[in-house]
Amino acid sequence: MKNIVIFGAPGSGKGTQSDLMIKKYGLGHISTGDVLRNEIKNETELGKTAKAFIDKGQLIPDDLMVDILANVYDGFGKEHEGVIFDGFPRTIPQAEALKKMLSERGHNVAAMIELDVPEDELMTRLIKRGKESGRSDDNEETIKKRLDVYHNQTAPLIDWYEKEGIHHHINGLGELDRIFGDICNVIDNL
Ligand code: AMP
């Protein structure tokens, strides 16, 4: 199993690059943001809880997120070469829980690929996406909160994965094809 964490701030291109990775490598894809938005759309209890956090630009509590993640992962079965984790982990406790959950199944994370994009570009991209997608959390005020959350709670994972020896930095600014090429270089060498 080549499990990969695609990592970066909101708007760094994780979803776009995940789509290309799915097509090329036949990987499964878990976007925790998509999972939660689906729960909100279906008006489930979990969706109601999640919406309160998402609309404020805050993270859903770790315990809840870890349970959701394990359930979705186990739902994949064995038909994939591996899974892309997109939007998870977002905190150090989530990274520790992911490592434990995978090792209990005899699996691991093979690479953490960080898409590095400057702050002003993230802001521009997210405001544009908000206009096109109508995502309720892509408005200027909530975007600022999400970027703060990223810097305070999520960015420390770069050092955490560096220590694990599986962090790969990629310049996420520029041509889509060049960025994807850099990602393929990492995956092909795993
Ligand atoms: P995303 O689509 O990945 O930008 O996620 C949208 C929102 O869903 C985030 O701002 C969080 O409120 C919530 N969310 C998604 N993934 C996680 C996670 N791993 N931990 C906590 N909250 C999450």
Q: Is the domain defined by 4-188 classed in CATH 3.40.50.300?
A: yes
Q: Residue 183 and residue 167: Cα distance in Å, rounded?
A: 12
Torsion of CA 170, 105, 92, 18, to 10 degrees: 30
Q: How confident is the model at residue 154 (pLDDT cuts 50, 70, 90)?
A: very high
146 assigned to active site = yes
Of the candidates 17, 11, 41, the one whose C-alpha atom is nearest the C-alpha of residue 29 is 17
Q: How far is CA 60 from the centre of its chain?
A: 14
What's residue 84's pLDDT? 97
> Ligand 1 centroid vs 54 CA: distance in angstroms?
7
Per DSSP, 153 falls in state: I
Q: Work out which ligand 1 atom sits closest to the CA atom of 10.
A: 4
Give the amino acid at 70.
A
SS3 sequence, 44-100? Answer: CHHHHHHHHHHHCCCCCCHHHHHHHHHHHHHCCCCCCCCEEEECCCCCHHHHHHHHH
Tens digit of each residue's pLDDT (9 = 90 or more) over 109-141: 999 999 999 999 999 999 999 999 888 899 999
What's residue 55's pLDDT? 95
Coil, helix or strand at residue 30? strand
Q: Residue 160 and residue 95: Cα distance in Å, rounded?
A: 8
What's residue 1's pLDDT? 67
Residue 80 has pLDDT above 80, yes or no: no
Tens digit of each residue's pLDDT (9 = 90 or more) over 11-37: 999 999 999 999 999 999 999 999 999
* Residue 113 β-bridge partners: 6, 168
Give residue limits of the domains in the chain: 4-188
Q: Tell me if 85 CB under 6 Å of ligand 1.
A: no
Q: Model's pTM, two decimal places?
A: 0.97
> Ligand 1 centroid vs 124 CA: distance in angstroms?
19
Arithmetic mean of pLDDT over the chain: 95
Neighbours of 128 (CB within 10 A): 12
Whole-number Cα distances in Å, 104 to 98, 99, 108, 137: 10, 9, 9, 35
Of the candidates 78, 73, 83, 72, the one whose C-alpha atom is nearest the C-alpha of residue 25 is 83
| Active-site residue identified among 23, 56, 129, 145 | 129
Residue 166 has pLDDT above 80, yes or no: yes
Residue 78 has pLDDT above 80, yes or no: no
> Ligand 1 centroid vs 14 CA: distance in angstroms?
13
